[in-house]
Structure 1
Amino acid sequence: MDKKTSLAALAALGQETRLDIFRLLVRAGQEGVAAGEIATRVGAVQNTTSSHLKILTHAALIRPERDGRTVRYVADMTGFRDLLAYLMEDCCNGAPELCRPVINAVTCDC
């Protein structure tokens, strides 16, 4: 991930509703959540939610998947991993053991 892409991802997550949407989709896993249901679950207006989804998609943090006539959104864990890797690229100035607690905290068994 480059600086420009990481800035877009951080800016996308820097807005309350978009952060709520991203966290919802991370919790949902590969099943994802239908677009209309996202608005309901985060308590947002549908057309505003559509804008938020577009921003998160362009930031490579989520992706749409067609399920018949329904569009479901899922967290793009590759994009999220790339963001974390970029942020930790120069972690601990050559002392990786200092980064171990952070790595352990973001590692899951999913």
Structure 2
Amino acid sequence: MREAMKQVPPEPDPDDAAPQNQNETKVTGPTPTKGADDLTRIKGIGPKLVGTLHELGVTSLEQIANWTQADVARIDSELGRFQGRIERDGWIEQARLLNAGDTAAYEAKYGKTSGTS
């Protein structure tokens, strides 16, 4: 009986299993939104925050540049351990400069952008 038990392979972990459908792929991390701006260009926004912002419907610099105090309060309340970053890091001002294409003014105040664009 012990010999038979040793020969039975363990059940595969469903998270490590290959996709059942040939066209299906395993996704890790936030899925980039097509046509979205590179929000990591704003100092203080990394990949984890980008994922959270995308889940909240925030995908463009223009959106952030036009936030009202009510928007800031609403979004900030959803940021968990990152609460306070919007105002502390000046996301709105950064977004306004980046959205306007004023790279010189942005870099004079904040240094080189941290994103890829």
Q: Is TM more than 0.5 here? A: no
Q: Which has the higher helix share?
A: 1
Which structure's residues are more often strand, by fraction?
1
